């Protein structure tokens, strides 16, 4: 056998093998790239759908919270108006008399100097109206918090 013929045959087989490997490699890379692109496209579509649903749910929760807040604000306006009217009605009452007694009160003197709600002094009544208004506002805020928590839950 001719060494050049064997060398030519080996060279042809080597070139064919390298060419085949290259074509196979390129085809394999393209196929894998296509699969990767398809997978990423599907992931992006799922992400976009999830984000859209999340935004809709967030808007729904925000609308619910706004409704609860408006309801609370309306009730607070009602309470404020009622307490303002009550405080105005207390302005016609007599003021607490000025006394030179000590700041520490004695429970032994509860006789005729004590009073009922009917005889309540103006300052004391106004103070109690303010405390009642604040308590009502806090109660409404707590109720709104509970309702909002339940709607999110």
Tokens standing for 152?
């999110």
- Residues 79 and 123: their CA atoms lie apart, in Å, by 20
Token pair 């609370």 is at which residue? 72
The answer to whether the pTM exceeds 0.75 is no
Q: Are 58 and 116 in contact (CB under 8 A)?
A: no
- Amino acid 7: pLDDT: 78
Q: Which residues of 102-127 are buried (b: 16+ CB within 10 A; e: fewer)?
A: eeeeeeeeeeeeeeeeeebeeeebbe
- Amino acid 45: pLDDT: 94
Q: What is the pLDDT along the chain (153 residues), one digit of tens a residue?
A: 677 777 788 888 888 888 777 777 777 777 777 888 899 999 999 999 999 999 999 999 899 889 988 998 999 899 889 888 888 887 777 777 777 555 555 555 545 566 677 777 788 888 888 898 899 989 988 988 888 888 877
Token pair 């339940």 is at which residue? 150
- Amino acid 40: pLDDT: 92
- Amino acid 50: pLDDT: 94
- Amino acid 53: pLDDT: 94
Contacts 24+ apart (CB under 8 A), 7-15: none
- Residues 136 and 80: their CA atoms lie apart, in Å, by 9
């Amino acid at each position: 056998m001719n060494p050049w013929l064997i060398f030519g045959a080996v060279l042809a087989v080597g070139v064919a093998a390298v060419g085949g490997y290259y074509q196979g490699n390129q085809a394999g890379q393209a196929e894998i790239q296509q699969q990767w692109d398809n997978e990423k496209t599907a992931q992006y579509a799922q992400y976009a759908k999830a984000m859209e649903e999340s935004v809709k749910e967030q808007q729904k929760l925000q609308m619910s919270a706004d409704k609860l807040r408006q309801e609370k604000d309306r009730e607070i306006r009602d309470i404020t108006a009622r307490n303002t009217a009550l405080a105005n009605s207390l302005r016609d009452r007599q003021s607490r008399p000025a006394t030179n007694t000590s700041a520490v009160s004695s429970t032994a003197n509860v006789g005729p100097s004590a009073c009922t709600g009917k005889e309540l002094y103006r300052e004391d009544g106004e103070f109690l109206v303010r405390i009642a208004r604040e308590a009502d506002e806090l109660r409404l805020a707590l109720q709104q918090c509970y309702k909002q928590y339940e709607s999110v839950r």
